[in-house]
């Protein structure tokens, strides 16, 4: 393999420390491990971060969920509309990604990141309900895998701003080329490796680490394979709607057989998600501007 243009891998490995996990995310991780935790505990954590609380309320009030009653508090958003598991994972995903400051524009900018993340999360969650009960993942964890699977991009933009801009230019110039190929040629490392590296240092759930690292690998069948494969299918479907970075729109037969879902079922779920596309875009815009 040719030497990468910027060979950023050695520079990453020489870093003395990675960004620290945001305090709110640390509290949510601790709550996840607390079998006695509940709605009140989660609401208290979310309310310590005004922008996070506002995002949770926006979700609950969004037409996405069709709740017609009054949602006047984080507690009500959790208890009446979204549910404990959904908010736990939504809040963890938002809190984990929040501290990274990268440009809004470009193929990998914050605008594209959040629009893709929210669509992928909604689609992965919807697809997870089709998987047979014996291998079906918790819907909230599937949502989190979709939400954070491209975390490596914003980590790169946060740590190496100039290199991030250069990578965006290469991607924009060669839109038909595989993103992974461009990343390896320019950086010597791909965004899955980057994101997994950060998430491992933060002790995030293994399910999401695997989704981040393997979501472009249609042959992965190791531990927690259900998560990267759901994200892979979501990404390839979203590519048909000009969202995301999948190299192809093809749905591998072997993956559909593993998930035990049909292309017809996938397209039905996709249609329901895309019907709410304007709401997801509006939520993404709030994420960027918060």
Q: Is 55 found in the same domain as 38? A: yes
Where a domain ends, among 74, 99, 124?
99
Q: What is the pLDDT of residue 101?
A: 85
Tell me, yes or no, whether 50 and 120 share the same domain. Answer: no
Question: Is 22:99 a contact under the CB 8 Å cutoff?
Answer: yes
pLDDT at position 64: 87
Q: Are residues 119 and 40 in the same domain?
A: no
Total domain count, the chain: 2
**Distance, C-alpha 220 to centroid of its chain:** 19
Say yes or no: 120 and 248 in one domain.
yes
Is 5 inside a domain boundary? Answer: no
Give yes or no: residues 109 and 239 share one domain.
yes
- Would 93 be classed as within a structural domain? yes
N-term to C-term CA, the chain: 42
The pLDDT assigned to 263 comes to 94
* Same domain? 155 vs 235: yes
Kindly state whether residues 108 and 82 are assigned to the same domain: no
Domain that holds residue 178: 102-290
Q: Is residue 8 part of a domain?
A: no
Around Cβ 12, how many Cβ atoms within 10 Å? 18
Residue 67's CB: how many other CB atoms inside 10 A?
16
Same domain, residue pair 79 and 173: no
Residue with token string 């329901």: 272
Domain boundary among 46, 66, 99: 99
pLDDT at 2: 64
Residues 111, 284 contacting (CB under 8 angstroms): yes
From CA 286, how far away is CA 290, in angstroms rounded? 6
Shared domain for 207 and 63, answered yes or no, is no
Final residue of a domain: which of 99, 127, 161?
99
The one-digit pLDDT tens for each residue of the chain (290 residues) are 567 767 677 777 777 677 888 999 999 999 999 989 999 999 999 999 999 999 999 999 998 888 989 999 999 999 999 999 999 999 999 999 988 889 999 999 999 999 999 999 999 999 999 999 999 999 999 999 999 999 999 999 998 899 899 999 999 998 889 999 999 988 888 999 999 999 998 989 999 999 999 999 999 999 999 999 999 999 999 999 999 989 899 999 999 999 999 999 999 999 999 999 999 999 999 888 86
Same domain for 139 and 26, yes or no, is no
What CATH number should be reported for the domain holding residue 268? Answer: 1.10.3210.10
pLDDT at 289: 81
Residue 66 confidence (pLDDT): 86
> Rounded to two decimals, what is the model's pTM?
0.93
């Amino acid at each position: 393999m040719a030497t990468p243009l910027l060979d950023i891998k050695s520079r990453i490995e020489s870093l003395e420390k990675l960004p620290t996990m945001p305090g709110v995310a640390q509290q949510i991780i601790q709550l996840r491990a607390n079998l006695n935790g509940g709605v009140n505990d989660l609401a208290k954590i979310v309310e310590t971060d005004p922008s996070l609380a506002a995002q949770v309320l926006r979700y609950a009030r969004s037409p996405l969920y069709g709740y017609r009653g009054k949602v006047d508090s984080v507690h009500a958003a959790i208890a009446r509309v979204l549910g404990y598991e959904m908010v736990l994972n939504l809040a963890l995903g938002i809190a984990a990604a929040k501290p990274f400051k990268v440009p809004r524009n470009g193929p990998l900018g914050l605008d594209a990141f959040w629009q893709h993340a929210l669509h992928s999360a909604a689609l992965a969650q919807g697809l997870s309900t089709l998987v047979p009960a014996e291998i079906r993942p918790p819907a909230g964890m599937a949502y989190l895998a979709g939400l954070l699977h491209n975390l490596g991009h914003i980590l790169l933009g946060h740590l190496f701003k100039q290199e991030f801009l250069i990578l965006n230019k290469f991607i924009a110039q060669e839109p038909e080329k595989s993103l992974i190929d461009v990343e390896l040629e320019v950086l010597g490392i791909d965004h899955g490796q980057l994101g997994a590296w950060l998430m491992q240092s933060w002790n995030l759930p293994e399910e999401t680490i695997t989704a981040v690292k393997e979501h472009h690998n249609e042959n992965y069948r190791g531990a927690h394979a259900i998560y990267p494969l759901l994200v892979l299918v979501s990404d390839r479907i979203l590519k048909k709607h000009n969202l995301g970075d999948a190299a192809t729109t093809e749905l591998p037969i072997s993956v559909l057989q593993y998930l035990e879902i049909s292309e017809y079922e996938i397209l039905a779920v996709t249609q329901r998600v895309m019907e709410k596309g304007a709401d997801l875009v509006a939520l993404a815009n709030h994420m960027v501007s918060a």
